[in-house]
Amino acid sequence: MSEFLQHSQRILPVLLEGMGMTLFLTAVSGLLGTVLGALTALARIARNKVLVVVASGYVTLFRGTPLLLQILFFWGVMGQVLPKAPGYVFVIFALALNAGAYIAEIIRAAIQSIDKGQMEAARSVGMSYGMAMRRIVFPQTFRRLLPPMVNEAAALTKETSLAMAVGVLEMMKYSQQFVSRTGNIASTYIWTAAGYLIVTVALTSLATHLEKKLEARG
């Protein structure tokens, strides 16, 4: 037991350093993915068929292939074009594109879950399609979006661990390096798991809390 504590003392500062990069990757690719996802969702329900096809193609491609492959692809291909850029830039690119595809579906589902009567009522008082979307439909989707979006953030946090495949120094990579240096497999990975859990549990309990709060408002 004392051995475990000893190891722990040495692991924690290392993991903490990796945690910074993990949170950075999550936050930046999450924000970019949200913008991309919102635009894609609008394109998917647009009247313009070209937009619909392009958006659907993007979503299918990025949801239908492994994220690891996407990371390796962008790291490899973009790395040749921009050899001086740090590796995490390409990882963020891949994570954002991947998250954007999932978020697009979340947002589209939320928009389409709003009762058709809302759009009709808005149009019947003379609002344009755009105004009705902006003033009536979107504000109602925000409340429905919050819980799944927070869950998506939790998923993204775990997915950033794939960045280790291209050598980005985030929590998983630090952890793996520590294992190969010291051989302390169990305690290292247990602490790493705890590091991810702190973030994901915080996020999912926030989602649950928001869900309850929004339900109460009716």
Q: In the complex with another protein, which residue's Cβ is closer, 118 or 182? A: 118
> Six-digit token pair at 174?
């630090």
Q: Which amino acid is at 129?
A: Y
Answer for the pair 41, 111: CB distance below 8 angstroms, yes or no: yes
Q: In the complex with another protein, which residue's Cβ is closer, 72 or 210? A: 210
Shortest Cβ distance from residue 113 to another protein (Å)?
13
d(CA 131, CA 138): 10
Produce one character per residue of 145-170: b if its CB has 16 or more CB atoms within 10 Å, e if not: bbbbbbbbbbebbebbbbbbebebbb
- Check binding of 127 to another protein (CB under 8 A): yes
Percent of the chain as helix, strand, coil, to the nearest 5 = 90, 0, 10
Q: Which of 6, 60, 118, 182 binds another protein (CB under 8 A)?
A: 118
Shortest Cβ distance from residue 107 to another protein (Å)?
17
Stretch binding another protein (CB under 8 A), from 14-22, 80-88, 139-147, 155-163: 139-147
Shortest Cβ distance from residue 131 to another protein (Å)?
6
> Six-digit token pair at 60?
């299918």
> Six-digit token pair at 9?
């003392």
- Check binding of 140 to another protein (CB under 8 A): yes
- Check binding of 213 to another protein (CB under 8 A): no
- Check binding of 146 to another protein (CB under 8 A): no
Q: In the complex with another protein, which residue's Cβ is closer, 17 or 115? A: 115
Q: In the complex with another protein, which residue's Cβ is closer, 64 or 117? A: 117
d(CA 146, CA 139): 12
Residues that bind another protein (CB under 8 A): 115, 117-118, 120-129, 131, 135-136, 139-140, 143, 217-218
